[in-house]
Amino acid sequence: MQFPTLHPTFFTATCKDWLYLLHDVQCKDIIINSLAFLVEKERIRVFGFVIMNNHQHIIWQMLSNQKPEDVQRDFLKYTGQQIKFYLQKNNRSLLEKCKVDAKDRQYQIWKRNALSIDIYSEEVMVQKLNYIHLNPVRAGLVLLPEDYLYSSAAFYELQFEQFGFLSHYKG
């Protein structure tokens, strides 16, 4: 069964209780590697992203044979499990803050109900890209968006593609 071509989506996933679960670069790399995998398997195209210490924004597009809810579920489940495994080995005290009283899990990495907004115009696409690229500047982590490693800002500002999975929104 083929699904219709879908619009790009602005996706935000926040760590449970806004905890700094993504502070370690290894946790950010889990997200990078997962995005690369999804692109390689032709499930998504990624137009932009930023990974902060306690949340992430992604502008992605599901490819025509993918249901958005399936990709989002798989992405969050996989990255959540991998971050949990990393914290079990390297930061048990932080992992303990993720404990939940739930029937289906002992720990929760991502806040439930991630934000997902379809993008229907170039104007909104540019606005969302600017918003995510300015996140590290607003947080005081860098002076220029393109200086933040875990972002697509350098791809757009310097034409530097260090990740191997980004697509320009203009095609």
**Is pLDDT of 17 > 80?**
yes
The average confidence (pLDDT) of the chain is 94
Flag whether pLDDT at 60 surpasses 80: yes
Percent of the chain with pLDDT over 70: 97
Name the pTM for this structure. Answer: 0.94
pLDDT class of 126 with cuts at 50, 70, 90: very high
Dihedral sign, CA of 56, 60, 62, 63? negative
Picking from 34, 10, 27, the residue whose alpha carbon sits closest to that of residue 116 is: 10
- Per-residue pLDDT band at 65 (split at 50, 70, 90): confident
Q: Tell me the pLDDT band of 1, cut-offs 50, 70 and 90.
A: very low
